[in-house]
Amino acid sequence: MTPENYDRNATHRVGGQITRATRTFAANPILDFVPAGGPVQLTRQVVTTASCNQCHDPLALHGGSRVETALCVTCHTSQNIDPETGNTPEFKVMVHKIHRSARLPSVVAGGNYRIVGFNQTVFDWKVTWPQFGSGIGDVRTCTTCHGAPPVGMTAEDYAKLAPDADNYKNKPSAAACGACHDNIDFATGKSTIAGKRDHPGGPQANDSACAVCHVADSGKEFDASVVGAHTIPDRSKQLKGINVEIVRVTSTGPGQFPQVVFTAKDNAGKALLLSEITSLAFNVNGPTTDYQGPPVTESATLSRVAIGADGSFAYTLTRAISVNATGTYAIGMEARRMETIIGNEGASANVSSASYNPVAYIPVTDKVAVPRRQVVATENCNVCHKKIAFHGGGRLNTAGYCELCHNPANVDVPQLVPPTLGGPFTVPPQSINFRFMIHRIHTGEELTRDFTIYRTRGVFNFNEIGFPGDRTNCAKCHVGNSYTLPLPETNANTVAPREFYSPLGPAASACLGCHDLKTAAIHAKTMTTDIGEACANCHGRGKDFDVQKVH
Taking residue 525's Cβ as centre, other Cβ atoms within 10 Å add up to 17
Are the beta carbons of 50 and 58 closer than 8 angstroms?
no
Instruction: Give the pLDDT score at 121.
Output: 87
Q: Tell me: do 426 and 461 sit in the same domain.
A: yes
Residues 249, 227 within the same domain = no
For Cα atoms 420, 422, 424, give the angle at the middle one, nearest 5 degrees.
100
How many structural domains compose the chain? 3
Residue 378 resides in a domain: no
Cα separation, 504 vs 481, in Å, equals: 21
262 and 216 housed in the same domain: no
Asked which of 177, 197, 231 is the last residue of a domain, the reply is 231
User: CATH number of the domain that 322 lies in?
Assistant: 2.60.40.1930
- pLDDT tens readout for residues 465-488: 999 999 999 999 999 999 999 999
- Report whether 192 contacts 185 (CB < 8 A): yes
Question: Rounded to two decimals, what is the model's pTM?
Answer: 0.94
Q: Within this chain, do residues 194 and 253 fall inside the same structural domain, yes or no?
A: no
d(CA 210, CA 194): 24
Is there a single domain that holds both residue 72 and residue 118?
A: yes
What is the chain's percent helix, strand, coil content, to nearest 5?
25, 20, 55
Query: Looking at residue 65, what is its pLDDT?
Result: 93
| Overall residue count recorded for the chain in this entry | 551
Q: Which of these three, 231, 259, 283, is where a domain ends? A: 231
Same domain as 437, residue 322:
no
Q: Please check whether residues 63 and 116 belong to one and the same domain.
A: yes
Nearest Cα residue to 169 out of 111, 127, 224, 227 = 227
For residue 3, the model assigns a pLDDT of 82
- In this prediction, residue 4 carries a pLDDT of 84
Residue 434 lies in a domain: yes
Question: In sequence order, what DSSP letters do the residues of 194-213 get, joined into one string?
Answer: TTSPPPTT---SSSTTHHHH
- Which parts of the chain have pLDDT scores under 50? none
Number of C-beta neighbours around residue 464 at 10 A: 12
- By residue range, what is the domain housing residue 188? 43-231
What is the per-residue pLDDT for 2? 74
Q: Is residue 360 part of a domain?
A: yes
